[in-house]
Amino acid sequence: MKNLRAAAVTAPLALLLAITAAAGTLKCPPDSAKVGPTCVDKYEASVWQIPPTSTALIKRVQIGRATLADLTGSGAVQLGCTGTPYNHTPYPAGFPADGNWTPVFGSIPPSPGVYAASIPGVLPTACTTWFQAEEACALSGKRLLTNQEWQRAAAGTPDPGSTPGALDCNTNSSGPSNTGDRTNCASSWGVLDMIGNVDEWVADWVPRSTDCPGWGSFSDDFMCLSGASTTDGPGAVVRGGLWLGRSAAGVFAVFGGGLPSFSVGDIGFRCAR
């Protein structure tokens, strides 16, 4: 009986120690930063259509070592409203009922794949639905951050607060900046542009918030989630605010009013491993 009791105590402890040790040895690719047990992309995603014959480049994207020169030099095409629109040929003109916005692998002839890269010096891809963002992350061996992971990764980013003219982050301009240009807009983990530039889809869905009458209580950041408003269907959560958000952008800014199939020029995303 004593041995059974001892095992019941030591087994969970051993598991906890193993998990802690594994987290301590986590090594992230060059395109991401270690944020606790997660590798979070340093830069907001740029989405690229890559020819299926460019297998070496696809591998470099998937292991986090692709550069802008690699992509542009291989014939890759950036998608979204900062590049070639998602709805160009051969993509369907409307959002497909099956939700599959990436080419099907195994098709004959092979179709170009759509991948999310974390690289500096390029406009982040916007005009993507939640589904497109999730699939682009998945083909790149990654995923969307959860809301909790996003909040952790944003910690320490300079918040404009009540001074919307602050220049650390892109919260008071006429459009998005190239990824990595705002070097002072970095979190304590080294993740860039978590505030402003473009809003970022995260993995979480909530009941869609349709009426947000006021501002958040933290540093003037805009907060809109169900519970304080009426709801209508599913809403996919976006975080951080955008380039014209002024003091409403910030590490606590959260909006749950967009349908997952919605796309607009100020919503992008980033991925994690």
Please list the pLDDT of the chain residue by residue as tens digits (273 residues): 445 444 444 444 454 334 444 455 889 999 999 999 999 999 999 999 888 889 999 999 999 999 999 999 988 888 877 544 444 443 433 445 555 555 555 555 556 778 999 999 999 998 888 888 998 999 999 999 999 999 999 999 988 766 655 678 999 888 899 999 999 999 999 999 999 999 999 999 887 776 665 545 556 667 776 655 555 667 889 999 998 888 888 999 998 888 887 888 889 999 999
Which ranges in the chain belong to alpha helices (H)?
2-24, 55-62, 68-73, 130-139, 147-154
State the amino acid at position 266 in one-letter form. D
Predicted TM-score of the model (pTM): 0.80
Q: Note whether residue 23 is domain-resident.
A: no
Q: Note whether residue 179 is domain-resident.
A: yes
pLDDT at 232: 61
pLDDT at 90: 39
As a whole number of angstroms, the distance between CA 198 and CA 241 comes to 7
Q: Are 250 and 192 in contact (CB under 8 A)?
A: no
Pull the structure tokens for residue 207: 């009941």
As a whole number of angstroms, the distance between CA 90 and CA 68 comes to 24
Structural domains counted in the chain? 1
pLDDT at 161: 65
Pull the structure tokens for residue 117: 């890269």
As a whole number of angstroms, the distance between CA 27 and CA 6 comes to 34
* 173: enclosing H helix or E strand: none
Q: Note whether residue 19 is domain-resident.
A: no
Residue numbers of the domain that contains 213: 31-273
As a whole number of angstroms, the distance between CA 249 and CA 233 comes to 25
Q: Note whether residue 7 is domain-resident.
A: no
Residue 109 preceded by cis peptide, ω within 30: yes
| CA distance to 19, 52, 122, per residue, from 56 (Å) | 33, 10, 21
Q: Note whether residue 230 is domain-resident.
A: yes
As a whole number of angstroms, the distance between CA 54 and CA 69 comes to 14
CATH at 177: 3.90.1580.10
Q: Note whether residue 26 is domain-resident.
A: no
As a whole number of angstroms, the distance between CA 243 and CA 170 comes to 5
> CB neighbours (10 Å) of residue 247?
22
Q: Note whether residue 55 is domain-resident.
A: yes
Closest to 196 in 3D by CA, of 225, 231, 161, 228: 161
